[in-house]
Amino acid sequence: MTTIRCISPVNGELYVERPALTLEQARDAVARGRLAQQEWARRPLTERVEVVRAGIEKLGEMNAEMVETLAWQMGRPVRYGGEYGGVKERGFYMADIAEEALAPIEVENSDSLKRYITREPHGAVLIVAPWNYPYMTAINTVVPGLIAGNAVFLKHASQTPLVGEHLAWAFHEAGVPDDIFQNVFLSHETTADLISEKAFGFVNFTGSVPGGKAMEQAAAGTFTGLGLELGGKDPGYVMEDADLDAAVDTLIDGAMFNAGQCCCGIERIYVVESLFDKFVEKAVAIVSAYRLGNPLEQSTTLGPMANVRFADTVREQTAEAIAAGARALIDPALFPAQGEAYLMPQILVDVDHTMRVMREESFGPVVGIMKVKDDAEALALMNDSDFGLTASLWTRDLDRAERIANQIETGTVYMNRCDYLDPALCWTGCKQTGRGGGLSVIGYHNLTRPKSFYLKRA
């Protein structure tokens, strides 16, 4: 029997384990969901919206437990209060726009013809969610998936198995039928088998590039719709007219928050020559004041990474960069609590794009900062990446920002902000970051299929 096990980064010990479904049990779960989905889809949209809204509210009742168990499962300090605020913002926004997003598109209603397009649910939707923002990343698809009339199956990361249980409890308590929203513990092999059997009409995966390739391989020949949010190496660019203090505070927080384990975290920063020294000086002061330690303590500002393996990857990238000529600016003596999953934050200068730390996803508390002479050099460096999720531009000139933004190969461009998902905008990426789009009206379009009606009156 396969077991899903979470080893806590807090102490390196087993925190929770759950038995995985066998392939036959998983097939039975999907069959029940598909059968129940037909009745769920026939319910009035307003009723589905109301029930899902209630589920979001219900989840908030257990926020204290969610915050503590997140610290144990993936290491985020309790002082930051968990993810419920973001869950509610995204979930309620998607509920608010459901009627408009799913409304039929009327083309003609004349004496001779009635022509229109509707949105039909895929039927069964599988969500494979990551551990780094386990509630918010899941809710991006759970809420619109349910509201659109699908049966939703949530397979959460092995690092955060309690998250799926919390979400299932909340939505079931609110009235979502048990078979319509199912939290399932599945092995990689069983997941691949189900996808290859076309068990689902749509699969949404957030994770690594190799994981995305595995999803595509499993779905090959089935014509199953896929939404893939994979790696990232998001840049920030600080121009000479930027608000320097705001730029430093925001970009460094974007690089280091959650121990750098953010899908749209800042992993490389380009600063115009005239501001470079001041930017670096301020950044070093901010990072040097962090406190690395037990995430269950209120004084901790930087917890462990979710897994020793992840921390070791960042250590390797950093050591390689230093060996190649990069300079590390943060004093290790300031962070005595290092070891295993506990990784000190680091700022690197004298870096270039030959170094892995500037090219490969780090997903940890390290950032390289490079000096640039102008927009053209910054743009070339920002685009010199295999990934394209977000980019952050810092200037007081909106027209200039838009000109640069139009040339960046990425999914989202921010001006004077970073590391945020606006639920009104499509969350998407390009290159090896993946394909598809979540949230916004487009999120509903990806969780449904168009159906056209050409009705000729007699």
Mean pLDDT of 333-352: 97
What amino acid is encoded at 436 in this protein?
A: G
Q: Which residues carry out catalysis?
A: 229, 263
Q: Residues 240-271: pLDDT tens digits?
A: 999 999 999 999 999 999 999 999 999 999 99
Q: Are 351 and 370 in contact (CB under 8 A)?
A: yes
Distances (CA, A) of 158 to 2, 74, 285, 348, 437: 12, 10, 36, 32, 24
Confidence class for position 458, pLDDT limits 50, 70, 90: confident
* Percentages (nearest 5) of helix, strand, coil residues in the chain: 45, 25, 35
Mean pLDDT of 331-346: 96
Q: Residues 83-138: pLDDT tens digits?
A: 999 999 999 999 999 999 999 999 999 999 999 999 999 999 999 999 999 999 99
List the beta bridge partners of residue 412: 390
Residues near 191 by beta carbon (within 8 Å), at least 6 away in sequence: 126, 128, 155, 218
Neighbours of 440 (CB within 10 A): 21
pLDDT score for 123: 98
Residue ranges of E strands in 215-341: 225-229, 234-238, 266-272, 327-328
pLDDT score for 264: 96
Mean pLDDT of 413-426: 97
Q: Residues 171-220: pLDDT tens digits?
A: 999 999 999 999 999 999 999 999 999 999 999 999 999 999 999 999 99
What are the structural domains of the chain? 3-230+433-456 (3.40.605.10), 234-423 (3.40.309.10)
Q: Residues 269-303: pLDDT tens digits?
A: 999 999 999 999 999 999 999 999 999 999 999 99
Q: Are 130 and 229 in contact (CB under 8 A)?
A: no
Gyration radius (Cα) of the chain, Å = 23
Mean pLDDT of 394-405: 98
Confidence class for position 1, pLDDT limits 50, 70, 90: confident
SS3 327: strand
pLDDT score for 109: 98
State the chain's mean pLDDT as an integer.
98
Mean pLDDT of 152-165: 98
Which of these, 387, 374, 373, lies nearest to 268 by C-alpha position? Answer: 387
Which of these, 323, 317, 245, lies nearest to 281 by C-alpha position? Answer: 245
Residue 377: is its pLDDT beyond 90?
Answer: yes
Q: Is the pTM of this model over 0.85?
A: yes
Q: Residues 10-29: pLDDT tens digits?
A: 999 999 999 999 999 999 99
